[in-house]
């Protein structure tokens, strides 16, 4: 799963009715507070899941205690509950169930103390235009996306080609993609709880293969949305354009030739990529500054070496054996102590993937970035597309299909059951993993992790990785 659930700290408050101290648990999603719940609420969820899916499917739940818990027992229970929530979330059946997701949505709304009422929510388009949709504060991501599509007159069969993303806009106009809004959250509550005008929700296409652009461009609204995104990505420098190409694009803009503009854009370097903020990597050596971009079934690296030399290279998703995202609490840089409290620590996120550098050599590559979750989501969705294409399936069915009111989306959470947990890299493990296999890694002591696998089997190896000026033998 792309999203990390953790219970890093407990919270106590005096109950209004009987003046006793009530112990609650902060549930963080990707290092950010999502909701606060009590043991009794989690126990009730467990009982509901067990009744619906059977005892043999549900992971073990920490038992009730008759007497007051000691501090050591409180910490032990916290760890057990964290393990339980992560196990449920990672289970393809339970983690995508409406029961589990509605529990998280309700808890999010209660924690933020936002009543259910009619509100207007602003959604940004790629061209900077804002549209206002009338929703309920309790509407989930799917409901808001439907409202946006209705407002724009986007056909239902194209809704799944787009997603809502949470972004942060900097003073200089730069944009940071924080995450794709998920089924377990309420968009209005999510953005309201941030209490900052720097954050916005934006509509953007949610697929990678440019072959699907044709489906979108056949509709006038889809064409306009894709055109606006292409123009925006060129203007912010995500798509590289030389002078001659810039001249051609400007001419097509003046003529209002949107399709031709997009077709030309498709031939340009980094078309359809998402560019991330500068961060740190340990490849080709520790401490290197890097700008990572995701697109075309790869992670592209622009690395600044310690000697100030710049190198560029790409890691193909088809050569990744697996990946994981880890979250840990670290002291603030200006803190005076080496221990963390809720006010003196920050979340450190890392994406690490095991890559087939050459025929017989796998190597772990780590990226330290606050956008590690978003990178993981990009990798997962690329793998999902490859899986669908390999099986001869339909992109429309993968992105969104309604069956008797049920909605299936391309989050890679429905159809594949995870094998046993992989706690750490093991050089003795089988090196080749089939596309249909997904690996899951989970650390339970203050660190959360998740991974997925893709097809690096047989003759599917391609796009050999090498930095410019460095041969395969040097990697």
Residue found by looking up tokens 């810039």 in the block: 246
Q: pLDDT per residue over 249-288, tens digit each?
A: 999 999 999 999 999 999 999 999 999 999 999 999 999 9
Query: In this structure, what are the phi and psi dihedrals at residue 328, rounded to the nearest 5 degrees?
Result: -145, 155
b/e sequence 397-407, b meaning 16+ C-beta within 10 Å: ebbbeeeeeee
Per-residue pLDDT reduced to its tens digit, 147-169: 999 999 999 999 999 999 999 99
What are the two backbone dihedrals, phi and then psi, of residue 327, each rounded to the nearest 5 degrees?
A: -125, 130
Do you know the residue count of the chain?
A: 475
Q: In Å, what is the CA distance from 348 to each residue of 31, 32, 330, 434?
A: 8, 11, 7, 31
Q: How sure is the predictor about 12, in pLDDT bands with cuts at 50, 70 and 90?
A: low
136, β-bridge pairs: 118
CA 296 – CA 163 distance, rounded (Å): 18
For 169, residues 6+ apart whose C-beta sits below 8 A from its C-beta are 175, 176, 198, 199, 200
Q: Find the DSSP H helices in 195-335.
A: 213-217, 220-235, 243-255, 258-266
Looking only at the bridges linking them, the beta strands covering 32-38 and 118-124 are unpaired
Q: How far apart are CA 439 and CA 353, in angstroms?
A: 12
Best mean pLDDT range from 191-205, 379-393, 430-444, 446-460: 191-205
Structure tokens at 466: 């090498």
What pLDDT, in 10s, does the model give residues 401-438?
A: 432 333 323 232 222 222 222 223 333 333 333 322 33
Query: Which strands form 130-136's sheet, in the order they lie side by side?
Result: 130-136, 118-124, 199-205, 162-169, 175-180
Asked if 439 contacts 419 with a C-beta cutoff of 8 angstroms, the reply is yes
Is 90 exceeded by the pLDDT of residue 209? yes
- Residue 21: in which H helix or E strand, if any? strand 21-29
CA 145/CA 123 separation, integer angstroms: 10
Mean pLDDT of 373-394: 87
Q: What pLDDT score was predicted for residue 55?
A: 86
- Tokens standing for residue 440: 């899951």
Alpha helices (runs of H) in 341-371, residue ranges in sequence order: none
Q: Six-digit token pair at 101?
A: 């997701």
5-112 belongs to which CATH class?
alpha beta
Residue 47 is encoded by which pair of tokens?
């009982």
Joined together, the tokens standing for residue 411 give 């989050």
Helix or strand (DSSP H, E) at 289: strand 288-295
Q: Is 338 exposed, middle or buried (0-12, 13-18, 19+ CB in 10 A)?
A: exposed
Looking up tokens 């002078």, which residue turns up?
243
How many separate helices (H) and strands (E) can be counted in the chain? Answer: 12, 20
Q: Is the pLDDT at 446 greater than 50, yes or no?
A: no
State the fold for domain 115-206.
Answer: Ubiquitin-like (UB roll) (3.10.20)
Domain ranges in the chain? Answer: 5-112, 115-206, 208-270, 274-331+346-401
pLDDT at 344: 57
Residue 58: Cβ within 10 Å count? 20
Q: Does domain 208-270 have CATH number 3.40.1530.20?
A: no
Is the pLDDT assigned to residue 132 strictly greater than 70? yes
Beta-bridge mates of residue 406: 403
> Which CATH fold would you assign to the domain 274-331+346-401?
PH-domain like (2.30.29)
Residue 69 — pLDDT band, cuts 50, 70, 90?
A: confident
Query: In sequence order, which residues have a C-beta less than 8 Å from that of residue 301 and are 6 or more positions away?
Result: 281, 283, 290, 291, 292, 311, 312, 313, 314, 315
Instruction: Output the six-digit token pair for 360.
Output: 């017989």
The model's confidence at residue 40, banded by pLDDT at 50, 70 and 90, is very high
| CA–CA distance, 410 with 88 (Å, rounded to integer) | 19
């Amino acid at each position: 799963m792309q999203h990390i659930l953790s219970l890093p700290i407990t919270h106590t408050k005096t109950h209004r009715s009987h003046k006793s101290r009530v112990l609650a648990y902060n549930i963080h999603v990707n290092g950010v507070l999502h909701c606060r719940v009590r043991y009794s609420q989690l126990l009730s969820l467990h009982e509901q899941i067990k009744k619906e899916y059977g005892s043999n499917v549900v992971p073990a739940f920490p038992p009730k205690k008759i007497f007051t818990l000691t501090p050591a027992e409180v910490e032990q229970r916290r760890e057990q509950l964290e393990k339980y929530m992560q196990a449920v979330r990672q289970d393809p059946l339970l983690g995508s169930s409406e029961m589990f997701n509605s529990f998280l949505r309700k808890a999010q709304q209660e924690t933020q103390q936002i009543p259910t009422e009619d509100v207007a929510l602003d959604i940004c388009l790629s061209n900077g235009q804002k549209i206002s949709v009338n929703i309920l504060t309790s509407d989930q991501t799917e409901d808001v996306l439907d409202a946006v599509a209705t407002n724009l007159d986007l056909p239902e069969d194209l809704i799944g080609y787009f997603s809502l993303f949470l972004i942060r806009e900097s003073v200089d106009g730069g944009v940071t993609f924080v995450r794709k809004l998920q089924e377990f959250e309420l968009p209005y509550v999510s953005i309201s709880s941030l209490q900052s005008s720097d954050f916005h929700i934006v509509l953007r296409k949610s697929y990678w293969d440019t072959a699907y652009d044709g489906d979108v461009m056949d509709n006038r609204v889809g064409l306009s949305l894709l055109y606006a995104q292409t123009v925006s990505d060129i203007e912010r420098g995500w798509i590289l354009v030389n002078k001659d190409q810039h001249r051609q694009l400007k001419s097509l803009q003046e003529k209002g030739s949107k399709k031709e503009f997009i077709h030309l854009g498709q031939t340009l370097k980094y078309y359809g990529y998402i560019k991330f903020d500068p961060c740190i990597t340990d490849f080709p050596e520790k401490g290197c500054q890097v700008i990572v971009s995701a697109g075309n079934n790869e992670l592209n690296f622009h690395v600044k070496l310690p000697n100030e030399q710049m190198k560029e290279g790409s890691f193909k998703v088809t050569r990744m054996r697996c990946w994981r995202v880890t979250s840990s609490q670290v002291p603030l840089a200006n803190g005076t102590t080496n221990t963390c409290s809720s006010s003196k620590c920050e979340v450190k996120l890392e994406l690490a993937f095991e890559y087939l550098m050459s025929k017989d050599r796998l190597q772990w590559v780590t990226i330290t970035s606050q956008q590690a979750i978003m990178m993981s989501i990009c990798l997962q969705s690329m793998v999902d597309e490859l899986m669908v294409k390999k099986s001869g399936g339909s992109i429309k069915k993968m992105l969104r299909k309604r069956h008797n009111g049920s909605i299936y989306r391309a989050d890679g959470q429905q159809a594949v059951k995870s094998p046993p947990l992989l706690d750490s890299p093991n050089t003795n493990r089988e090196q080749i993993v089939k596309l249909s296999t997904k690996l899951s890694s989970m650390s339970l002591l203050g660190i959360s992790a998740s991974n997925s696998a893709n097809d690096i089997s047989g003759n599917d190896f391609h796009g050999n990785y090498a930095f410019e000026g460095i041969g395969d033998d040097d990697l």
